[in-house]
Amino acid sequence: MSNRTNRRRFLSQSAAVTAGVGYFAGTSLAADEKPASALNALSAGCIGVGGKGGSDTSHIGDQGVRIAALCDVDRDTLAKKGREFPDAEHFDDYREMLDKLGDKVDIVTCSTPDHTHAAACVKAMNMGKHIYCQKPLTWSIEEARVMRETAEKSGVVTQMGNQGTSEDGLREAVEVIRSGAIGDVSELHVFSNRPVWPQGGGRPDKEDPIPDSLNWDAWIGPAPMRPFVSGIYHSFNWRGWVDFGTGALGDMACHTTNMPVMALNLWDPVAVTAIKNPGIVEGEQYPASSELKFEFPERDGLAPCNFHWYDGGNLPPERIISQLPESFQKRVARQREGGPKMSGAVIVGSKGIMFSPDDYGAKYYLLPEDKFTDYKLPEQTLPRIPYKSGGDERQKWEFVQSVKGEYEPGTMSNFGYAGRLTETILVGNLAMRAGQGQRIEWNAKDMTSPNVKSVNEFVGREYREGWSLG
């Protein structure tokens, strides 16, 4: 079978999008108790156990799941995490872990760089494993389509790691927008403090010895092979490289756009334009900053909407900033003077504005404040997670309890939802491939641009020999 992620089958979109998001402070509802012996039968193999993967592994273990295997390309990281889970088997290649464990694990977590998510998760889903995968769900648009196809076909429980989805505040905010409180939404402005890693340069002209502890071939995975250079790719700076990461947009938009996308059904843009586009540097790195515009038509009775994305210090225009709380305008002024960069989302409706001042959509303001002084919240339509903890841990509770079949609403950021979110976001990275101001029309069903055909080769890619999707 071909390694290219070019499956074009168009999924039914019906049950894929489950529910929404919201609440002012993101507080929880109940359940101080952690799951006990009833979960002891569940076991997990965890792929990528350093950094965010370290906490993902620990959180799954905290839910009573036995950590049967740890997999990381860096054996020093494996040894460190192994002290927490001394009974777990160690692997430095997920293929070996999945082949050896067979039916010995029920759950697989994947917290690796973006470019290996799909290859690992599709293989595991085809083996019947329930999957918790970090955001963004995949490196490419085609991989995201395959991930949600495979999840639907296999019937396993899935969850993407955009933990804001599990906050009461995000679910409440979705209910507020859906209720019509701010009217018809025509504009969405989302800005990010990313990148916080190097971007905008080219490939270094050097090569360093591969550390004895590092399986470099497994780290490269399905991407094209390149020399190891210390501190350039592994273990954090990979996000800015187009072969491995998805840049500032891919890193944070699954968080910052999550709430408004869910509330407004912002799927399948019909066009995207890079308003400010220094371009991909030497075909290697995303630019240090960008500004994008996505266009969405009328959908299910909702008004047409333009979504504007800003990163690298770019901000919405003054007509938007001037409507935000004074305290936030002061922070904007400090940023413009060289202070810390900020993140947020501004949803502009015909009756008012919703402003979320963080990455996760769990806190929000209704503006102008005097107009909403006596505002009454709409009737609750989305479930709240009955587990008292932080959003990240609540999301793991939701996932594990859904695997057990003991949480009826199921996971909200399942791959049916998360796949569509990821596809939508990654269309923006195609605009980086075109010239500034070039409007790229997009056919989401076929995953192609009919007018700028040169970007279509970047919708997916050929996998390196020895690596496959499935």
Q: Most distant CA pair in the chain: distance in Å?
A: 65
- β-pair type (344-349, 353-356): antiparallel
Give the separation between CA 324 and CA 354, rounded to whole angstroms: 9
pLDDT (0 to 100) of residue 187: 98
377 with 390, same domain: the answer is no
323 with 174, same domain: the answer is yes
Confidence class for position 102, pLDDT limits 50, 70, 90: confident
Q: Is the pLDDT of residue 9 over 60?
A: no
In a domain, 217, yes or no: no
302 with 329, same domain: the answer is yes
Confidence class for position 28, pLDDT limits 50, 70, 90: very low
Confidence class for position 342, pLDDT limits 50, 70, 90: very high
**How many domains are there within the chain?**
2
Calculate mean pLDDT across residues 16-38. 35
Residue 326 DSSP SS3 = helix
Confidence class for position 40, pLDDT limits 50, 70, 90: low
In a domain, 269, yes or no: yes
pLDDT (0 to 100) of residue 18: 34
Half-sphere exposure of 25 (CA within 13 A, CB side): 4
Residue 205: exposed, middle, or buried by beta-carbon count in 10 A (0-12, 13-18, 19+)? exposed
Confidence class for position 307, pLDDT limits 50, 70, 90: very high
103 with 196, same domain: the answer is no
In a domain, 235, yes or no: no
Q: Is the pLDDT of residue 181 over 80?
A: yes
pLDDT > 90 fraction of the chain, expressed in percent and rounded: 89
What CATH number does residue 298 fall under? Answer: 3.30.360
Confidence class for position 32, pLDDT limits 50, 70, 90: very low
Calculate mean pLDDT across residues 232-249. 96
In a domain, 79, yes or no: yes
pLDDT (0 to 100) of residue 470: 80
Q: Is the pLDDT of residue 35 over 50?
A: no
pLDDT (0 to 100) of residue 435: 86
Asked if 21 and 164 count as a contact pair (C-beta separation under 8 A), the reply is yes
Q: Is the pLDDT of residue 405 over 90?
A: yes
197 with 86, same domain: the answer is no
Nearest Cα neighbor of 94 from 115, 118, 73, 63 is: 73
Answer yes or no: pTM beyond 0.85. Answer: yes
289 with 362, same domain: the answer is yes
Give the separation between CA 99 and CA 102, rounded to whole angstroms: 6
407 with 432, same domain: the answer is no
pLDDT (0 to 100) of residue 42: 97
In a domain, 465, yes or no: no
In a domain, 324, yes or no: yes
pLDDT (0 to 100) of residue 22: 29
pLDDT (0 to 100) of residue 27: 31
- The H-assigned helical ranges of 155-214 are 168-178
175 with 109, same domain: the answer is no
161 with 189, same domain: the answer is no
340 with 398, same domain: the answer is no
In a domain, 14, yes or no: no
Domain with 56, as residue range(s), is 21-165+385-414
Residue 112 DSSP SS3 = coil
Calculate mean pLDDT across residues 92-100. 98
184 with 110, same domain: the answer is no
Mean confidence (pLDDT) of the chain? 92
146 with 114, same domain: the answer is yes
Q: Is the pLDDT of residue 15 over 50?
A: no
pLDDT tens, position by position, 252-288: 999 999 999 999 999 999 999 999 999 999 999 999 9
In a domain, 130, yes or no: yes
Q: Is the pLDDT of residue 26 over 70?
A: no
